[in-house]
């Protein structure tokens, strides 16, 4: 049985480990090894995750028998609007396709409705097959954006939303 629990800063090591195990299979054919390493260091170090938490990210973990299989983060009242933003959602490669991503999104949707959000919002790399999952979960592409992240690297994303 999968349980979704609120995470604390004590879980940042596990969240970092999940990201480091997931990103190579998710982005290995999309990003250069150098960009992948750069982004993991920037976004998934303990310092990067702590910075996220200080900026309003809430983290949740998906666990089965006390083993963490995935995580997500969300931000309520994104840009001072009734929007819940989902900056991060990753499932270990061996656990993908088992319903964990759906459970994480359902929990964020439940929390968003409690917070009176009208929409869920996220970005997904334009070449990431996860966009098909988000479409199945009711998200639509509402735009594109290119985000410079330093070292001449660029995130090329779709913006996706789901009306609640």
Residue ranges of the domains in the chain?
2-163
Task: Name the one residue in this structure whose structure tokens are 């995935």.
Answer: 70
The continuous run of DSSP H or E covering 82 comes out as none
pLDDT single digits (tens) 129-152:
999 999 999 999 999 999 999 999
pTM higher than 0.85: yes
Overall fold of domain 2-163: Aminopeptidase (3.40.630)
The percentage of the chain sitting over the pLDDT mark of 70, rounded to a whole number, equals 100
The count of other CB atoms within 10 Å of the CB of residue 123 is 19
pLDDT single digits (tens) 48-101:
999 999 999 999 999 999 999 999 999 999 999 999 999 999 999 999 999 999
The Cα-based distances of 92 to 36, 50, 70, 100, 151 in angstroms read 16, 21, 6, 10, 28
Task: Name the one residue in this structure whose structure tokens are 């988000």.
Answer: 134
């Amino acid at each position: 049985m999968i349980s979704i629990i609120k995470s604390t800063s004590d879980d940042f090591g596990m969240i970092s480990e999940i990201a480091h195990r997931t990103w190579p299979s998710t982005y290995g054919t999309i990003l250069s090894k150098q960009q992948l390493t750069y982004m993991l260091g920037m976004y998934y170090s303990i310092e990067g995750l702590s910075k996220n938490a200080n900026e309003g990210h809430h983290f949740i973990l998906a666990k089965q028998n006390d083993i963490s299989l995935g995580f997500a983060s969300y931000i309520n009242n994104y840009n001072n609007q009734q929007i819940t933003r989902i900056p991060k959602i990753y499932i270990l490669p061996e656990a993908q396709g088992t319903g964990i991503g759906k459970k994480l999104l359902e929990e964020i949707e439940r929390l968003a409705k409690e917070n009176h959000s009208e929409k869920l919002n996220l970005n997904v790399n334009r070449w990431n097959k996860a966009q098909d999952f988000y479409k199945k979960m009711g998200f639509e592409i509402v735009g594109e954006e290119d985000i410079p992240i330093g070292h001449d690297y660029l995130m090329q994303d779709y913006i996706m939303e789901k009306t609640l």
